[in-house]
Amino acid sequence: MSVQAILFDFDNTLADRGVYAYRAFSRIIRENTHFQDPVETEAVIQDCMLWDQGGTVPRSYVAGKLQEVYGVEIACEDFQRYWLQLQKEYAVLYPDTLSTLKTLKERGYRLGCVTDGWTDIQRGKLEMVGLTDMFEVIVVSEEVQAPKPRPQMFEKALQELHLRPEETVYVGDVFAKDVLGAYRMGIQPVWFWPEHRGCSADVTVIHKMSELLELFPGNK
């Protein structure tokens, strides 16, 4: 059965989260600390990037490490909300994202975004980078109260598209959430993994978004 729709994660898949995480941490550190030396300041920012673990840990963990290591105290609730607002403000796409999506759409594929996060933040990011109108369906985990790899987000996307799992592809960067979640649903997973590390599982791996154009030549 031919592929009719391609669904995407957002952060670290369509958008370069490393860039906007760095910008957000830089602003937070510069606004909440009094470090004068630029090298000392950069050391704190780089530690935040390490503690952040690509967004897989709560922001409260990063705030706790800032207090423990550097004596920097940031209220967790404020830190969480402010961090998310900055993420929305600084969101930026990978260089080949927009051209790839446009080409896939021109080739007849229906496109969607299935992403974990708060609705206003994730939809705000999509609007910020100009992708809202690119997708026929957008599902955010807050809306269904069930993050990946649980099936609810995938089910909602399929229902809105009126498609079966085998007619759909899902592209994401976190194996245990994106690849596993799609796989369990019967959706063809594509692992977006720029770091070129190995993979023992028999799944499709791409290292940049434009590689999708080789995999999906079109439905027209």
Q: For every one of its 220 residues, what pLDDT tens digit does the chain have, with 9 covering 90 and above?
A: 699 999 999 999 999 999 999 999 998 888 887 788 899 899 999 999 999 998 888 888 998 899 899 988 876 667 778 888 888 899 999 999 999 999 999 999 999 999 999 999 999 999 999 999 999 999 999 999 999 999 999 999 999 999 999 999 999 999 999 999 999 999 999 999 987 777 888 899 999 999 999 999 986 5
Domain boundaries, the chain: 5-16+93-215, 17-90
Cβ of 122: how many Cβ atoms within 10 Å? 25
**At what angle are helices 38-52 and 59-70 packed, to 10 degrees?**
140
Mention the CATH class of domain 5-16+93-215.
Answer: alpha beta
